[in-house]
Amino acid sequence: MTEPVSLPPSSPLRRDRPSKLLSAREAVQRFVHDGDSVFFGYTSWAGGLEREVARQRKQNLTSLATVGSILLPLLGTCPRLITSYALGAQSPWFLERYRAGEFEIEDYTNQTIALMFMAGALGMPFVPTKAMLGSDYLAPDFYPQPGGFLGENKLHVMDSPFDGERVVLLPALRPNVSCVHVQWADEEGNAAFWGGHGEVRWGLWASERVIISAEEIVPTSVLRSDPHRVTIPGFMVDAVVHMPFGSLPWGLPGYYNASGAMQYDFLGGMRTEEGFKQVLDTWVDGCADHDATLRRYEERYGAGSLDRLRADRTWFPERPIRYGWRAAQ
């Protein structure tokens, strides 16, 4: 009779791996370092984790995102951005400081940022595309990009060795750390996210370290029963944070809508120095943690205001898929 195989303690197949569940404060302290490049997701924006990074005043960060927030740049902790859209960057105060040289921004398109994350996830040093051909990205006035920091390392144009067509080569993006919010995770770090993935899974897979915040912490059996939903496996995740409403002021598919009121206060407050101080006092330094943020939300917008954001309509596939492989005996 064949002897059973004994798995080593470090095997990802073991069922008794230690929990990675931490508070947001502990996770950020341990896994976000000064000087890191950081990805916060896009369609699964980790607003709660971003505010925790702000509370801890992590320094000299570089933001990597298709759509990036200006919270950390305005705070003075994130002087470099690689993005296709800096959300709130039309703020007069932000533009004044950018023109004064306080921030450096490398601008790309949504598609090219996603391709650069894909290259990082697949271990490729660069990725070819035709996306920028014929655009101002290659015009002498904009390349190398004024106000950028990559110089001629931003991109290269060459002839394809296969058919001679012109292509643009873009460098791979490999975040030092990703902070992404999902619907479900277990304590081992297996994380399920549904909705528009965008570049999120590529950014996660390209990262050296990963912090997941989740609406719900579920048993591993829930994730094993529908493995297609698992965006990132637990062995790639360093910390898991239970964080209901962790995407605020943005929404999360299946759970809640974006908060227009908080978006207005948050983005509107970033337009002036005085307004930004109020943002910090209200949502960052004025809240010890994410639980305090949720209490502040109810105080500011009224009792039950969080519940009013919850999704109240749902749908299910007309014909759910089946998993299985064993024939009837």
Q: How confident is the model at residue 3 (pLDDT cuts 50, 70, 90)?
A: very low
Amino acid 314: pLDDT: 82
Q: How confident is the model at residue 196 (pLDDT cuts 50, 70, 90)?
A: confident
Residue 285 in tokens = 């330094």
Residue 66 in tokens = 């298709």
Q: How confident is the model at residue 73 (pLDDT cuts 50, 70, 90)?
A: very high
User: Is residue 159 one of the residues assigned to a domain?
Assistant: yes
Q: Which long-range contacts (CB under 8 A, 24 or more apart) does 220-228 make?
A: 220/15, 220/186, 220/187, 220/188, 220/190, 222/184, 222/186, 223/184, 223/186, 223/190, 223/192, 225/323, 226/192, 226/323, 227/323, 228/321
Q: What are the Cα distances from residue 169, in Å, to 114, 129, 179, 200?
A: 14, 7, 27, 21
> What average pLDDT does the segment 201-214 reach?
97
User: Is residue 4 one of the residues assigned to a domain?
Assistant: no
Contact 137, 143 (CB under 8 A): yes
Amino acid 11: pLDDT: 52
With 70 as the cut, is the pLDDT of residue 13 above it?
no
Amino acid 24: pLDDT: 98
Q: How confident is the model at residue 184 (pLDDT cuts 50, 70, 90)?
A: very high
User: Is residue 70 one of the residues assigned to a domain?
Assistant: yes
Torsion, Cα 80 89 53 242, to 10 degrees, reads -130
Cis peptide before 12 (omega within 30 of 0): no
With 90 as the cut, is the pLDDT of residue 205 above it?
yes
CB burial class (10 A; 0-12, 13-18, 19+) of residue 110?
middle
User: Is residue 326 one of the residues assigned to a domain?
Assistant: no
Residue appearing with tokens 């994350």 = 117
Contact 191, 50 (CB under 8 A): no
Rounded to two decimals, the pTM is 0.92
pLDDT digit string, tens, across residues 279-311:
999 999 999 999 999 999 999 999 999 999 999
> What average pLDDT does the segment 128-155 reach?
94
pLDDT digit string, tens, across residues 219-244:
999 999 999 899 999 999 999 999 99
Percent of the chain at pLDDT exceeding 70: 95
Listed in sequence order, the residues at least 6 apart from 292 whose beta carbon sits closer than 8 Å to its beta carbon are none
Q: What are the Cα distances from residue 275, in Å, to 131, 260, 270?
A: 38, 17, 6
Amino acid 6: pLDDT: 45
Residue ranges of alpha helices (H) inside 189-289 are 200-205, 220-224, 260-269, 273-279
Other C-beta atoms within 10 Å of 288: how many?
10
With 50 as the cut, is the pLDDT of residue 63 above it?
yes
User: Is residue 210 one of the residues assigned to a domain?
Assistant: no
> What average pLDDT does the segment 167-193 reach?
97
Among 304, 123, 121, CA closest to 204: 121
Q: How confident is the model at residue 12 (pLDDT cuts 50, 70, 90)?
A: low
With 90 as the cut, is the pLDDT of residue 67 above it?
no
Among 199, 125, 120, CA closest to 156: 125
* Neighbour-count burial for 154-193, b at 16+ CB within 10 Å, e otherwise: bbeeeeeeeeeeebbebbbbbbbbbbbbbbbbbbbbbbbb
Which is higher by pLDDT, 321 or 191?
A: 191
Domain that holds residue 99: 35-171
With 80 as the cut, is the pLDDT of residue 218 above it?
yes
> What average pLDDT does the segment 160-168 reach?
96
Q: CA 78, CA 58: separation in Å to the nearest integer?
A: 8
With 50 as the cut, is the pLDDT of residue 2 above it?
no
Tell me which amino acid residue 183 is. Answer: Q
Amino acid 43: pLDDT: 76
Other C-beta atoms within 10 Å of 61: how many?
24
Amino acid 4: pLDDT: 41
* CATH code for the domain in which residue 150 is found: 3.40.1080.10
Structural domains of the chain, count:
1
With 60 as the cut, is the pLDDT of residue 1 above it?
no
User: Is residue 54 one of the residues assigned to a domain?
Assistant: yes
Other C-beta atoms within 10 Å of 94: how many?
20
Amino acid 7: pLDDT: 46
Amino acid 10: pLDDT: 56
> What average pLDDT does the segment 183-208 reach?
94
